[in-house]
Amino acid sequence: MSTAPSPPRFEPARIIVVMGVSSSGKSTIGAAVGRRLHAPFLDGDGYHPAANVEKMRSGIPLTDEDRWPWLDALAKALHEAADRKSVAVGACSALRRSYRDYLIKKAGEPILFVYLHGSREVIGERIAHRKHEYMPASLLDSQFATLEEPAADENALQVEVTDPVETIASQVVKAVSHLRSFKRWQ
Ligand SMILES: Nc1ncnc2c1ncn2[C@@H]1O[C@H](COP(=O)(O)OP(=O)(O)OP(=O)(O)O)[C@@H](O)[C@H]1O
Ligand SMILES: O=C(O)[C@H](O)[C@@H](O)[C@H](O)[C@H](O)CO
């Protein structure tokens, strides 16, 4: 009796975007995954227009209108990096589904999202103890209020923020190894 091979869990993608609320660990995990894949890591924090940074620094949550140009710039940079290096890793809160769909549309290619799932308590504890150039801890509640967790039909891997960084990075690299059939993935 032969068993049919199981279909790949994820749609082949050259771009991996680590997503989640502020202080869920996007920069930390994204950098670790980039190192393991020898891939460039693009942190979304660096793609905000200056006005967005000033808004967040003042404790005012961003609106959809504030976020579109930021998502556009990051998506294009990820696409260019993937063209140059075969694969690119990004970090972006990508809180709403419409933002994730927009990133895919603007990148012009599939994206594998890695969703950093964690409780308000755990992430609240982390944000209270870290330093950030502009993001205040007071914005964490609005981040959770805006968050739409990836749905079952999205190309997303969920990981737990309570796991060690290296464990999460290994889970991502393992998930990506299922994508070897993707011929541009070298
Ligand atoms: N898996 C983990 N276990 C323990 N601590 C972690 C883990 N991941 C990240 N951290 C710590 O949590 C804090 C927030 O991490 P990080 O800055 O990477 O989050 P972020 O999502 O990029 O934040 P922001 O979006 O606000 O820039 C840091 O102090 C980091 O060292
Ligand atoms: O979508 C948003 O509300 C913002 O972009 C934030 O998430 C920040 O970019 C970042 O997470 C803070 O460093």
Q: What is the pLDDT of residue 147?
A: 98
Atom of ligand 1 nearest to the CA of 167: 1
Nearest to 97 by CA among 24, 154, 49, 143: 154
Q: Whose CA is nearest to atom 14 of ligand 1?
A: 23
Atom 1 of ligand 2, residue of closest alpha carbon: 93
Structural tokens at position 38: 């020898």
- Return the domain boundaries, the chain: 32-177
Distance 122 CA to ligand 2 centre (A): 18
Q: How far apart are CA 43 and CA 65, in angstroms?
A: 20
Note whether 169 and 116 are within 8 A (CB). no
CATH code of the region 32-177:
3.40.50.300
How high is the pLDDT of residue 9?
A: 79
The DSSP 8-state label assigned to residue 82 in this structure reads H
Pocket test for ligand 2, best of 135, 138, 148 (most atoms within 8 A of CB): 135
C-alpha span between 35 and 147 (Å, rounded): 28
Amino acid letter, 66: D
Averaged over successive runs of 10 residues, the pLDDT of the chain (186 residues) comes to: 64 95 98 96 98 98 98 98 94 98 98 98 97 95 98 96 98 82 51
